[in-house]
Amino acid sequence: MKYLHTMVRVTDLDASLRFYCEALGLRELRRHESPQGRFTLVFLAAPGDDDAQVELTYNWDPETYTGGRNFGHLAYEVDDIYAACAQLQAHGVTILRPPRDGRMAFVRSPDQISVELLQKGQPLPPQQPWQDLPNVGSW
């Protein structure tokens, strides 16, 4: 058995690509458009890890999706949790659970999918401003 991907439905493909690619740092591997099915699939992966993919499914006809937190979350290991959070903030992303412990943070995509960031290896030493920031909303 081999893990292939996790599918996430998105309501605004451009906003989702800005979040997942520009802010989070994933890259687009391939795209499939189906005029007959009226949907677009975009497969993303973290640099150097093409085997663990996220499939963004964009249905051309408007739909209301529920899920968010009950979906669970996507999780990515990062080389520097503080730098990753700073990059996300620079792209206008709210850090819902700051990395106070130097190990873990949570953010949400434009469609409210929870994304966990985990520090690679051992936690980094706590540092400001992260150490004193409170949680915001639900993550």
Residues with catalytic function = 116
Q: Give the C-alpha separation, 100 to 129, whole Å.
A: 9
Helix segments in 18-139, DSSP class H:
81-90
Q: Give the C-alpha separation, 137 to 121, whole Å.
A: 28
Cβ contacts of residue 51 below 8 Å, gap of 6+?
A: 2, 3, 45
Q: Give the C-alpha separation, 139 to 68, whole Å.
A: 9
